[in-house]
Structure formats: C-alpha cells, structure tokens
Structure 1
Amino acid sequence: MNSSSTDVRAALAAKGYGMGRGVRDTWARPSTAPVAPPARRSRPQAVTKATYSHEVGRRLTFEVPGTPVAKGRHRTAVVKNRVRNYTPEKTANYEAYVAGCAKQAMAGRPMTDGPVALSVTAYFSIPSSWPKKRQAAARAGELRHIQKPDIDNLLKSLKDGMNGVVWKDDCQVCELHNCSKGYCDSPRVVVTVEEI
C-alpha cells in the first residue's frame, strides 16, 4: 500500500467513513450515521401563475357547438419495442375544443378551487332518414337519444376538457345536476358549472 492511498483512507476515516466488513477495498458509511435516501432527479416544472377563487353561487354557462364526442378508450401501441398508451386523436381534439370554448367563456376569470356542481345537456342532430312525424317528435323532446355515446363517457370528455381552465381538476365535481341528451336541429352541448 502506498502513502497516497493511506492518506485517502485516513481522510475518509476522519469524515466518518470506514472499511466495510467482508468487502475488500470498498468504503461504507458507519452503521451509526443516519443514511439519507438518494436525492431524486426531478424534471423542471413549468412556472405557472394560476390563480384560484371560490365564490358560492358563482355560475358559468357556455355552449360547445358541434356533435358531442364521448371519451374514447386509451389505445396501446408498441413503438421501438416499448408499449405506449395514448388518447385517440378524435377524443384529444374534442377535449382541446372544449377547453377553447370554456376559456372563451371564462373571459380571464380565475379557476375555481372549491367544489362545483355540473349540469350538461347534449343535443344530437336529428337523422334526415327519419319520417317527418318522428323528426317532429324528436324536436318536441318526445323522443330521447338512446343510442351511443353514453352520457357518462360524454361527461368524461367534457370534464377532462375543462381541467386547468374552469377548475384545477375534475375531482372537484361533487354534484351532477340535470345531465341529459336529446335531439335538436343544431347539435351542441350546453354546460353549466356552479360553485357550491
């Protein structure tokens, strides 16, 4: 053993490091010193200046023009020998469209940070192949929309689209009021969010 390795060992021993048992030429912390977990590397977070407010009774109503789109199931693909999950393009585009309509309706108001109640009415177009009598019944609200998409999947796509715009997260939706779907000449979704 040369003098430089002896000096290094002495310096490490002075700092509380000692020779590990049964392991040759490896250094270990003494068992009496507390061992801190290794620091995790974290990605740099984007700095956002989001403001939140909550005012009981505050209400926001807006429309999302066009045919309502339900939340599609996540898809899975293998890319470069890795499994990748992704949201279907149609769903992602509709959620972005809902976010744009909600942002326009918010008009610069801050997001809410408290519990909210949500009301949704989805209107689908009346099929032109139906007889005129059936079309008139659909316009009058006598016929209900009982085909796909399901109302709960419609709610998912709307709630995900309003994340970060109307509320911080859709877990803030504590009550659902008057969620329905029907027929109309101009397909759209009418959304009402009320702070409770």
Structure 2
Amino acid sequence: MTVPTTSQRLDDAELGWPDTLADYIGRHCPTEFPTGADKAAELIMAELVRPLLTDVERARSIAVALEQENAHLTEQAYRQPAITITVHGLPAPQGSKKPFRNQHSGRIQMTESSAKVKPWRQDVKHAALAVVEAAADWTVLDGPLAVSMTFTFDRPKGHYRTGRNAHLLRDAAPTRPSGMPDLSKLVRSTEDALTGVVWKDDARVVEYVRLGKWYAETDAEDVLSVPGCVIHVWPLAGQAVSSC
C-alpha cells in the first residue's frame, strides 16, 4: 500500500486526501478488518496530517504579518525623503568619452564627448549645496540609499501646430521624450554630481524608487515647467554598508 508522505505538496492535503483516507485504507486492507482501517486513518490524521496543516497555517499567518509590516515600514520610509533637490538646467548625459592630446604634456587624455555634461553636473551640485547648507545638521549620507529622479525637458517646436494654433500640440506629438539622451546616462551624470555633497559614494544607491523623462508642464508628479530634475533620496534604515 502506498500512502502519501509528508514531503508531498500541501496542495495534495488541501485537495482532500486525508478526508478519504479511511476509504483508501479500507480498499487495501482485508474486508474483515474495517474497524482497523478506520482506526489507522484516524491515527494518521491525528498524528501526521492535522499537525502538519496546523504548522502550515501558522507559517502562513506569520508570512502575512511580516509582509504587512514590511509594506508599512516601506511606506513610512518613502513618505518623507532625507533630502529633496530641485535642479534647473538642461539635463545632460554622461557616457562615452573622446581622446584629445594635452598641449602641455603631449599625452593623450580622455574627455566627455558631450559639452553639456559639465554644466549640468555644476547645476546639480550647486542645487544640492544650496539645500544641504540650509539644513541645520546635514551630514553626508553613508549607507544604503533609495533614489528618485524625474527629468524634465522642453518640447521641440515641431510638436506644436502653426499659426494661431501654435500653442496647441499636434495630434501625433509624443507624450514622453523617448529619444536621446539615454535615461541611464542622465542618472550617471546626476549621481556623480551628488557624490561628496549628498552621499559619500554613488555606490550607496541600491534602489531606484522612480526614474523618468518627461516633457515640461506634463501633469505628473515632480515634473517641472522648465528643464531640470527633481531628486529625492531616502536612507534605507536598518541596513549596513557592504563591500560587495
């Protein structure tokens, strides 16, 4: 006789095999011992199945409670960021570099291929400094961090109609800036500019709550009326810095 073991999935127990165990045993035991089959089934239910189901239900209750507590802590942590920075300026990406020869040393050096990235990093750094200098007891963050960055760009003139309807968007105008620059490269240049001012190292950023590119005056959270970026930073409480 083959009886389901405790290693079977819980689904088997939930589908009802313990409820029909007496019938199962009765079919595989001599007919002259029906009472023995009933007692065997009752014993298995009492000693094996019911404790197993009780333990599973207890584990489920603990898991649900932990999930609810984690959701509550996450909501609390993200409700009020440690710092919010609003940058005005044209967001520029940090990515590929190009070589040039230093006129004084004669050596080949690398520089950013985009001439816009340096002004953008300066805009970010100045905006961050203005915020931290206004804070009474600001210290550079040196633990795991969560970050939100919302980049705003002007719409090209080609998105608008002409003549007396020049203030209206064309029907085919895109809702989001899906072309260059790359979002990941915008994040890179912005994070670098915040190093040493907001956080000790941009490696401390372990999570992105929100990243996005939007056109100015779009009705969405943190979208500006002019080009720039809104940055929120949250320390993740209870987590230590790791070298990995």
Establish whether TM, by shorter chain, passes 0.5: yes
Counterpart among 171, 185, 189 of residue 229 in structure 2: 189
Q: How many residues align?
A: 138
- Confirm whether residue 119 of structure 1 aligns to residue 142 of structure 2: no
CA shift for structure 1 position 81: 3.6
- Extract structure 1 runs of 4+ deviating beyond 3 A: 135-138
Give 1 or 2: higher strand fraction. 1
Matches within 5 A, 1:58-137: 58-79=81-102, 80-88=105-113, 89-107=115-133, 108=135, 109-130=138-159, 131=161, 132-134=167-169
Give 1 or 2: higher helix fraction. 2
Equivalent residue letter for 2:107: R
TM-score by length of 1: 0.63
Equivalent residue letter for 1:105: V
Structure 1 partner of 2:182: 150
CA shift for structure 1 position 63: 0.8
Q: Distance in 2 between the 1:85 and 1:188 partners?
A: 27
Structure 2 partner of 1:17: none
Q: Is the CA contact (8 Å cut-off) linking 2:147 and 2:231 kept in structure 1?
A: yes
In structure 1, runs of 5+ residues without a counterpart are 1-55
Q: Distance in 2 between the 1:154 and 1:160 partners?
A: 10
Structure number with larger C-alpha Rg: 2
CA shift for structure 1 position 136: 8.9
Q: Distance in 1 between the 2:199 and 2:145 partners?
A: 9
> Which has the higher relative contact order, 1 or 2, with Cα contacts under 8 A spaced 6 or more apart?
1
Matches within 5 A, 1:136-175: 143-175=175-207
Classify the secondary structure of the residue corresponding to 1:95. Answer: helix
Q: Distance in 2 between the 1:191 and 1:137 partners?
A: 30
Equivalent residue letter for 2:121: E
Q: Deviations over 1:73-127 (max 9, x none)?
A: 2221123442212335432232122111111111251101101111011111122
Q: Distance in 1 between the 2:193 and 2:140 partners?
A: 14
Q: Is the CA contact (8 Å cut-off) linking 1:72 and 1:91 kept in structure 2?
A: no
Report sequence identity in percent.
28
Moved more, 179-188 or 70-79: 70-79
Q: CA RMSD in A?
A: 2.3
Q: Distance in 2 between the 1:120 and 1:135 partners?
A: 28
CA shift for structure 1 position 164: 0.4
